[in-house]
Amino acid sequence: MIPPILYALASYARVRSFPRRIRDRQTLRAWQAKRLKQWLAHDVPKVSAFRKLAGCGSKLEDLPIMEKSDLMEDFSRFNVPDITNAQGWEAFSGSRRIGDFIVGASTGTSGNRGLFVISHGEQFSWLGAILAKAVPDFWRHRDRIAVLLPLDTPLYDSANATGRLALRFFDITDPLGSYLTTLVAFDPTLLVAPPRILRRLAEANTTLRPRRIFSAAEKLEDFDRAIIEGGFGVALDEIYMATEGLLGVTCAYGRLHLTEDCMHFEFEPAGEDLVAPIISDFSRKTQIMARYRMNDLLRLDRETCPCGSPLMVVREVVGRQDDVFCMPAVDGKPVELTPDILRNAIVDTDRCIDDFLLVQTGERALELHLSEKLSLPVRQAVRANLLALLDRHGASPDCRIEILALEPHSRGKLRRIRREWAA
């Protein structure tokens, strides 16, 4: 049996050497095509969902696009050990392991939780990849990593097996005060957390002085970044990660690169210069994620990054497709407003706005949550800007916006633009 740490070291070496071997988009596409061909021929047919669709001579475009609903209708059809939905959820509520396999789940921010399963080797390959991208100099330091997220997973345990890292998980579904003293005593050199948690820590005037900070799991706003970087005195990096895998990490120039050295991305146009990613993860062989449509909306940057990497740059992770507001229009056609358009209408009103919540609660009803510290004229101006935005896009004039007091966010992922109404 191969020692697990060798999987991590091999993955680390492969990802670190990738920019030296693959220097342009044309070479990258050729390299991906070869990996996809092998994956489609040898790995994809091992699960029943694709057994009749993939094999020697198959092309990626021959496979149908899959949704989370397809995956969760019968989870066993998409993983090699044939782990069923019932077995997966039972393991997730217990040890989160079935034999040598790790079982995890999404946080369910869209109201529909999804399972995932990876092998022991894939666990350590994931560790090697994320170290190569986020902490390439880990071998020079004995870092203490604090991961503050809403859901623990045995994936994080693999870091402690390196002998160079000490990782501790902190559950942010608990009140900050319940673990702050322990966090400060741990004295992390690397800190990974959603921006709202990083912001609270930056404003808490603690003795925390990490050398690196990573935003993860939630949309990073510019005003949050300014407060976090000002409070900690270091640049804020970003990890784009989901149940579907490690999707992106910022480079030395602070630009978010997709992990095209680990998976293939297709980009489905979503209007307003936005795309929805469709991923095919050729690095995973236990659970097959082939042409899996994600719920995220991205704005890509086609310019070459100064770091020289050929990996695609994401200018902005805009939000989720199911948070696009859908309003009735004067001409009868629905008006769709993406999260970035709504966000800009709010924050561009006044520089003093550094937090908000906008929720579509009905066909014609929005709730605008603003801090009571804002003056009444500013709050009214935000409301007026949103109404003007609706008018410019042809929304029905009877749409209404109610202004409410902004309460501290305490549970689940923070989505400042959120649609709770469904047509």
CATH assignment of the domain containing 415: 3.30.300
**Whether the Cβ atoms of residue 355 and residue 221 lie closer than 8 Å to each other:** no
108-117, 136-145, 346-355: lowest mean pLDDT where? 108-117
The answer, yes or no, to whether residue 156 has pLDDT greater than 80, is: no
285-336 per-position pLDDT tens digit: 999 999 999 999 999 998 889 999 999 999 999 988 889 999 998 877 788 8
Q: With left for phi above 0 and alpha for psi between -120 and 50, is residue 351 left, alpha or beta? A: alpha
pLDDT score at 330? 81
pLDDT value for 3:
67
Give percent of the chain with pLDDT exceeding 70.
Answer: 97
Whether residues 332 and 370 share a domain: the answer is: yes
Point out the domain boundary residue: 299, 321, 343: 321
Helices 195-203, 222-232: inter-axial angle, 10-degree rounding: 40
Beta bridge partners of 336: 326
Q: Are residues 210 and 357 in the same domain?
A: no
pTM of the model: 0.89
Domain count, the chain: 2
**Identity of the amino acid at 358:** L
Question: Does the pLDDT of residue 111 top 60, yes or no?
Answer: no
5 pLDDT more than 80: no
Q: What are 64-88's pLDDT values in tens digits?
A: 999 989 999 999 999 999 999 999 9
Where does a domain end: 321, 356, 385?
A: 321
**26 or 150, which is more confident:** 26
1: pLDDT strictly greater than 60: no
Pairing of strands 365-370, 357-360: antiparallel
Please count the other Cβ atoms lying within 10 Å of the Cβ belonging to residue 188.
24
47 plus 174 within the same structural domain: yes
Q: Are residues 60 and 12 in the same domain?
A: yes
Is 60 exceeded by the pLDDT of residue 110? no
Strand partners, 256: 250, 314
Q: Is residue 386 within 8 Å of 401, Cβ to Cβ?
A: yes
Q: Are residues 317 and 330 in the same domain?
A: no
- Domain CATH code at residue 225: 3.40.50.12780
- Residues 37-59 pLDDT 10s: 999 999 999 999 999 888 777 89
273: left (phi over 0), alpha (psi -120 to 50) or beta: left
What is the extent of the structural domain holding 356? 324-419
pLDDT averaged over every residue in the chain: 91
Say which amino acid occupies 309.
S
Residues 329 and 301 in one domain: no
Give yes or no: residues 240 and 347 share one domain: no
Q: Are residues 364 and 307 in the same domain?
A: no
**What is the distance of C-alpha 42 from the center of its chain?**
29
232 and 360 belong to one structural domain: no
Q: Which residue has the higher pLDDT, 117 or 114?
A: 117
The residue out of 290, 321, 352 marking a domain boundary is 321
Is 107's pLDDT higher than 90? no
Q: Are residues 139 and 236 in the same domain?
A: yes
79: which residues sit within 8 A by CB, 6+ positions away? 47, 117, 286, 287, 288
User: Sheet of 357-360: strands edge to edge?
Assistant: 400-405, 365-370, 357-360, 417-419
161 & 247 share domain? yes
User: In angstroms, rounded to a whole number, what is the distance separating the alpha carbons of residues 122 and 1?
Assistant: 14
Q: Look at residue 345 in the predicted model and tell me its pLDDT.
A: 93
Count other C-beta atoms under 10 Å from residue 43's C-beta: 18
Separation in Å, CA 118 to CA 36, 113, 130: 19, 17, 16
Same domain? For 315 and 336 the reply is no
For residue 203, the number of C-alpha atoms closer than 13 Å in the C-beta half-sphere is: 11
